[in-house]
Amino acid sequence: MARVLIVGGSDAGISAALRARELDPTVEVTVVLADRYPNFSICGLPYFLSGDVPDWRSLAHRRVEDLERAGIELLMERRVERVDAASHTLVIRDSLHRYDRLVIATGAEPIRPPIPGLEHRGVHQLHTVDDARLLEGLLEREPERAVIVGAGYIGLEMAEALRARDVEVVVVEQLPAVLPTVDRELGELVRQELERKGVLVLSDSTVTAIERNGARLAVAGDGLSEEADIVLVVVGVRPSVDLGRAAGIPLGPRGALQVDRHMRTALPDVFAAGDCTVTYHRLLEADTYLPLGTTAHKQGRVAGENAVGGERRYEGSLGTQVVKVFELAVARTGLRDAEAAEAGLVPLTDQTVGYDHKVYYPDAHEVAVRLTGERSSGRLLGAQMLGHLGAQIAKRIDIVATALYSGLSVDAVNDLDLSYTPPFGSPWDVAQAAAQAWTLQQTAM
């Protein structure tokens, strides 16, 4: 009987395990994970801390008994010390575990910036269920003030979560604008929303030290001096590759494990998937690094299928993302202008503003769209959107993501047969109106 071992129990690891068992119910599948939280939604941690999700257990996609019922053996709170590819074995607590196929899905780990004082009590990162439960205990003591270092997705989601708990919040970002994954024009609108909700935003600011000041923490930097009860450091993640690198797997962009489109590594019978690996970018037709939950699920599914003899290929990522910031939703897919130029393309980006549905129907909301295409050919390259929570931003960015996946031109977006009724949209959706405005810009140049 074939034996598949999987290291890592989050999105990619569990997706691989489930897919392997779906295709071959006779295969033995064992998942080894360092904690006791298999298949938990790490993306949901801010919503547990805000109180929107009252019980952290609700963040489990599947319970342990559900996974075991699917035929998956779980070895929890175990760390794999070494992979011996030559003998097809893992070393776990001095015991050997043999595999026929191995999937490494060790995920990512939070970046610890070189700031003196990160070890102080009250300074935290947010990456695991245990991190969230520890923070929840601190929030029950009703802290007055928090400083968040980093204005990316987690930083802004946590700003909202802490404001929901009546905590004063200061967000510190070393770049000129918050949410640097979108253009500065949209980042400025996000900043205005944060400030409208009582969040103090300090951009172009770098934290250089965190010190204890009695019962509080003092956060210092270039022109920066803030006190807080809690400091949350969320400046991004990097691939967790120690195990794979020590086993001899080469590294690719951003130091991630190198895999091919079938999620195979350079080692025989060893696959890797998720936030520890490179990501094939569908538009760039090259490997990059895009640690996203959606990507991890897809890569894990491919790895699991191929670990039991399949030949499925990962079709690539477009970097499609969306985030909620208080009453706004902000999304992107594909390439921004600067990213396209860096890839050697000649892009054109145009910004338009439309409404999510017919203005005469109540509660119409403006939607800002920044559309990017290739100046000469009219090829669609990407889009960014910002609008009210009720404006279905997540689904509207999916229109563009689907068009990008299909290789459509900007003008061809107008030919998409989209639904319409006045409470939900317009005869031309805002994505199509943006495409028309972009085409006029291209023609005029």
Cβ-contact 372, 336 below 8 angstroms: yes
Report d(CA 225, CA 210) in Å as an integer.
10
The list of the chain residues with pLDDT below 70 reads none
Report d(CA 288, CA 256) in Å as an integer.
9
Going by C-alpha positions, the residue among 186, 163, 158, 187 that lies closest to residue 175 is: 187
Report d(CA 291, CA 181) in Å as an integer.
13
Going by C-alpha positions, the residue among 99, 79, 75, 81 that lies closest to residue 89 is: 99
Residue 223 has a pLDDT of: 80
Residue 445 has a pLDDT of: 76
Report d(CA 170, CA 156) in Å as an integer.
11
Report d(CA 202, CA 347) in Å as an integer.
31
**Cβ-based neighbour number of residue 24 at 10 Å:** 19
Classified as helix, coil or strand, 43 is: helix
> φ, ψ for residue 309 (rounded to 5)?
105, 0
Report d(CA 265, CA 243) in Å as an integer.
13
| 145-149/168-172 β-pairing | parallel
Report d(CA 126, CA 378) in Å as an integer.
42
The DSSP call for residue 413 is G
> How far out from the chain centre does Cα 2 lie?
33
How far apart, in Å, are the Cα atoms of 176 and each of 157, 172, 263, 323?
19, 10, 37, 19
Which distant-in-sequence residues (6+ apart) come within 8 Å of 145 by Cβ? 167, 168, 169, 170, 216, 227, 228, 229, 230
Q: How many residues does the chain have?
A: 445
Domains, the chain: 3-41+57-109+237-307 (3.50.50.60), 123-233 (3.50.50.60), 327-444 (3.50.50.60)
Structure tokens that stand for 86 in this block: 């030559």
**Cβ-based neighbour number of residue 130 at 10 Å:** 11
Structure tokens that stand for 353 in this block: 């503003």
At 330, which amino acid appears?
V
Instruction: Tell me the torsion sign for CA atoms 291, 297, 298, 299.
Output: positive
Report d(CA 156, CA 409) in Å as an integer.
33
Alpha helices (H) along 24-113? 45-50, 64-69
Going by C-alpha positions, the residue among 426, 329, 429 that lies closest to residue 385 is: 329
Report d(CA 59, CA 40) in Å as an integer.
5
Give 190-203 pLDDT, tens digit per residue. 999 999 999 999 99
Q: What is the pTM of this model?
A: 0.95
